[in-house]
Structure 1
């Protein structure tokens, strides 16, 4: 197959998102609007290298791709995972050759921009990820290093009673406690709650010793994703009607993701964060979500924060899935704009010949 690269600026938003929404690789962080919002955060200083791949006059792939200076890496995407998005319906042979072309082109771009590595990250609830029955990271077959993580994923096709029975006893007690204290949850308009969200987000991060995200990040989520239902915001209120916690859920077709959240100390003590998570799960089920990604877990986490996150997320049932990551390290001597094309990976080339690719 003959390929041609075109920049993201040469593709309309409609064409970009049409390919993403029709692809088994598609995800929220692959959308045009996501690229726009992360590039608009001054503190991150991301540089856009996103591109499309044409073949026989048709757009067959789009690749969200940014250089992230804080990581000195070319990443897909520069903030949160996407990976290459290939057109639905192409053959396995076409898919392999297209991915090989994309990986090689990303390596050339990384060398040219001085990146130390290339990083791909893929949601565990894309159709492509869910179909990896043996857990094999397809990027490894393209010469990359597997750096995958673990995510807790909940199958919402079960009845509400079944989902409740899968909760840990502690989670059930926390939810009942918050109800007893008069806490309740509602879905709210993102744009109307950016200020309050950021206030509680800042308090939460400062309390846990982490630098808060830039406010522009959440304002971008509200303005670029929420109107089309790709980001849904829930809040928990106490018995006096005071907002005390938020749950920001990313949603794409049958997949959803616990994207970000924050709470006051009082809400956490009363179990409000458990009630909020449970209600977000039920709302996701109502709107047609099947796979709910609770996010990364750390069974061998060294920090107290990692241990706490793991305990919290695994108390809502579900199973452990692979969250696919892959990296290609570039030696410092190779990271310069004068470097030639990458040396083909001999193992990958051998496998492609054996498979007739």
Structure 2
């Protein structure tokens, strides 16, 4: 008999064992990442699993899920539900059992959306999940099984399997090689380490500087405490520290799981930009990953096509490391279309005002 288990009614070891063994799961499904995500502002955890009561409550599927309230002035509009990672179902199950698991997941999300008076539900599938990135044939959006509208995008992925340093270098775009050579002339150094709590204060100071420079909201320090404690202690992250002499210019954090890495969070000083620390740090991390059996690096969501805004610069930066576009499957279901339309108009007005 299949049943729904709330995450906090599971053992962390039981949950992580399922994440380690389900091919559609990646780091976002791990207990430590869900604990870190719950530290975000206006966020509450709703994650759950599907268990088989006839098989010692073995977990057959994991669903990371949070409810996120809008900013305080808009609290009355209600939250949206968000699943970074999406439903991860054991692909070794018989097809009929998989269908039953999907039906139970859809039912539970529907009930949670109604209970929370959610405006919409957003689901996404991790491009680095082995069932997706290692697939031998084209795949449809896995979220089509749940009746969600397709909202997919794409991500830059770099296949590192069997690549040496010379091949990595030649694979970089000219702009990137030029930046790295400038960084070398500026006498920068980089070191890829397993982070710990001693890095927290330095990273957070750089994070605040980055947020001020880019006019973006800061994350609470508790989020990074989770990253530098529980996530790092579980062996799920690496940090690349870029210095000039004894001065730390930038820190790049990477999620590392199932021999695959994601360029995750970054923070740097104004001098880091002037001295080309970011390109230099990622290039160093790539060369180190190839020495430690990491076979793919995801540089992040891609924004290809003709555009002349900040996203073009971000896309060109990610692209310059030699990656290829991979599908980043997403799905969406809107429960309160009028409220969502009003919020979308408000977002567009704010963005238009910012550009002016």
**Do they fold alike, i.e. is TM over 0.5?**
yes
Match for residue 155 of structure 2 among 141, 144, 151: 151
Does the 8 Å contact 2:200/2:225 carry over to 1? yes
Q: Which runs of 5+ in 1 are unaligned?
A: 335-357
Which residue of 2 is the match for residue 191 of structure 1? 197
**TM-score of the superposed pair, with normalisation by structure 2:** 0.86
Which residue of 2 is the match for residue 283 of structure 1? 288
Q: Matched residue of 2:266: which SS?
A: strand
Q: Matched residue of 1:217: which SS?
A: helix
For 1:208-247, what aligned pairs fall within 5 Å after superposition?
A: 208-238=214-244, 240-247=245-252
The alpha-carbon distance between structure 1 residues 260 and 67, as it changes in their structure 2 partners (threshold 3 A), is same
Which residue of 1 is the match for residue 45 of structure 2? 48
Aligned length: 327
Does the 8 Å contact 1:22/1:88 carry over to 2? no
Alignment partners' CA distance in 2, 1:303 and 1:113: 39
Alignment partners' CA distance in 2, 1:333 and 1:261: 36
Q: Matched residue of 2:142: which SS?
A: coil
Q: Establish whether residue 119 from structure 1 lines up as the match of residue 122 from structure 2.
A: yes
Alignment partners' CA distance in 2, 1:293 and 1:261: 14
**Which of the two has greater helix per residue?**
2
Which residue of 1 is the match for residue 14 of structure 2? 15
Match for residue 83 of structure 1 among 82, 86, 106: 86
For 1:156-171, what aligned pairs fall within 5 Å after superposition?
A: 156-157=160-161, 158-171=163-176
Alignment partners' CA distance in 1, 2:47 and 2:306: 33
Alignment partners' CA distance in 2, 1:66 and 1:326: 15
The alpha-carbon distance between structure 1 residues 203 and 247, as it changes in their structure 2 partners (threshold 3 A), is same
Q: Which runs of 5+ in 2 are unaligned?
A: 71-77, 340-356
Alignment partners' CA distance in 2, 1:62 and 1:142: 15
| Residues 231-287 of structure 1: per-residue CA shift (max 9 Å, x gap) | 11111001x221001110011112110001122222222221111010111222222
Which residue of 2 is the match for residue 139 of structure 1? 143
Does the 8 Å contact 1:190/1:233 carry over to 2? no
User: Displacement, 1:87?
Assistant: 3.0
Does the 8 Å contact 1:50/1:66 carry over to 2? yes
User: Displacement, 1:111?
Assistant: 0.9
Alignment partners' CA distance in 2, 1:198 and 1:169: 32
Which residue of 1 is the match for residue 37 of structure 2? 38
User: Displacement, 1:174?
Assistant: 1.0
Q: Matched residue of 1:107: which SS?
A: helix
The alpha-carbon distance between structure 1 residues 96 and 291, as it changes in their structure 2 partners (threshold 3 A), is farther
| Residues 96-120 of structure 1: per-residue CA shift (max 9 Å, x gap) | 3312321222112111111111211
Which residue of 2 is the match for residue 339 of structure 1? none
**TM-score of the superposed pair, with normalisation by structure 1:** 0.86
What's the Cα RMSD here? 2.1
Alignment partners' CA distance in 2, 1:104 and 1:60: 16
Q: Establish whether residue 297 from structure 1 lines up as the match of residue 286 from structure 2.
A: no
Q: Establish whether residue 269 from structure 1 lines up as the match of residue 274 from structure 2.
A: yes
Does the 8 Å contact 1:190/1:226 carry over to 2? yes
User: Displacement, 1:30?
Assistant: 0.8
Which residue of 1 is the match for residue 73 of structure 2? none
| Residues 52-80 of structure 1: per-residue CA shift (max 9 Å, x gap) | 2122333212222111112821221xxxx
Which residue of 2 is the match for residue 60 of structure 1? 60
Alignment partners' CA distance in 2, 1:197 and 1:237: 13
Which residue of 2 is the match for residue 26 of structure 1? 25
Match for residue 110 of structure 2 among 97, 101, 107: 107
Q: Matched residue of 1:287: which SS?
A: coil
Does the 8 Å contact 1:205/1:212 carry over to 2? yes
